[in-house]
Amino acid sequence: MSSGSGVQYYHHGRFRVAGGILPNAITAYRTYGDPANPCIVFPTCYGGRLDNVGLLGQDYMIGPDKALDPTKYYIVTFALFSNGESSSPSNTPPPYNGPYFPAVSYEDNIRAQYAVLTKELNVKKVYCVIGFSMGGQQAYYWPVVYPDFVEKFIPICGSARTSMHNKCFLEGPKAALVNSKDFENGFYTKEPQFGLRAFGRAYSAWAYGQTWFREHGYLLGGQNSSLEDFLRTGWEGGFLGTWDANDLVTLLHTWYHGDVTLVGKSTFSAAHDEDGFASTLGSIKAKGLIMPCKTDLYFPPEDSEFEVSLMKNNAKLVIINSVWGHMAGGGANADDDAFLKSEITKFLEGA
């Protein structure tokens, strides 16, 4: 694990979000490296935590021998609202606790992160925003919300908007959780294990490409395993005891409504604005390195190709040729990590 500052907490006070008001919003963050170096922002994904507990942490990409070198850059990692570290249904006191927690947008998260950077860390400009999955979607949002504050951005297995295909997938694990017999409409008094286990199983299949299953079978920890072990250990176990059910639902809502054309609007929109989407991406000033995975079922490369075509030569498309599907961008294996490091290093150093 790369050493860092440890998790810190910024108190915003009263903070408006898409679904209402948080009386004392909190953003969790960590820093790595010398503040005098160029700043890189690296926000969490769905299932990601700064304390590296549960499904995925942030340290997998940070280190002198990794894609983000803290001896060269000042790296700031941010926890999304509703991840259990920043303000979330599980840690917010009444009357905004649990199912009463307001809906939060990506733009809300970006505004909160900007406040930490400028008010607490005295960052004048961000050299690059990089993220995986939901972190990749935030990377797209940054140069739209703050066009003159960001020089470069790298979405890895992410998108500028959540596609209809992606939304259809999200409805599955959400339904498995909220309709479980122990979710209690969000008013559960103990961990809703039936719901969390069902959620994990419904979520699992899309994490890897079909080819991964054919080539790797059920390999966990280097030992042959059954499909049942894969589901129970890797996916039920990834959520049980570490993730609150209301947090998962609220965070999923942020993902579901991701769309850069919504920046500056007061409400979520149910429909894609194709003209607005093209003009929004075309107006991005920052240089982009767009890195989808060939076998990603969440964010397929075809979506990235279309997005890059709208960015007027400001973005470069590099497809991760991997059987690991979505998880190719999440530190799942050494080969993909090495490829990411190579391409990211070249991009950051100006090649």
Decide if 326 is catalytic.
yes
Residue in 258, 294, 61 with CA at minimum distance from that of residue 157: 294
Decide if 296 is catalytic.
yes
Tally of helices (H runs) and strands (E runs) in the chain: 11, 10
Complete DSSP assignment for 112-136: HHHHIIIIIS----EEEEEEETHHH
Question: Both tokens of residue 346?
Answer: 């070249």
Of 105, 303, 326, 336, catalytic: 326
DSSP 8-state symbol, 207: G
Question: Both tokens of residue 135?
Answer: 């972190």
Of 2, 82, 88, 133, catalytic: 133
CA distance 329 to 108: 25
Residue in 29, 171, 191, 48 with CA at minimum distance from that of residue 113: 29
Residues 6+ apart with CB under 8 A from 173: 198, 199, 200, 202, 203, 252
- Strand stretches in the chain, DSSP E: 8-17, 20-32, 39-43, 74-78, 126-132, 150-156, 219-220, 223-224, 287-290, 315-317
CA distance 96 to 105: 16
Of 69, 296, 336, 337, catalytic: 296
Kindly state the helix (H) or strand (E) to which residue 218 belongs, with its residue range.
none
CB 292 within 8 A of CB 300: yes
Residue 272's region, left for phi above 0, alpha for psi from -120 to 50, else beta, is: beta
Residue 170's region, left for phi above 0, alpha for psi from -120 to 50, else beta, is: alpha
Active site residues: 133, 296, 326
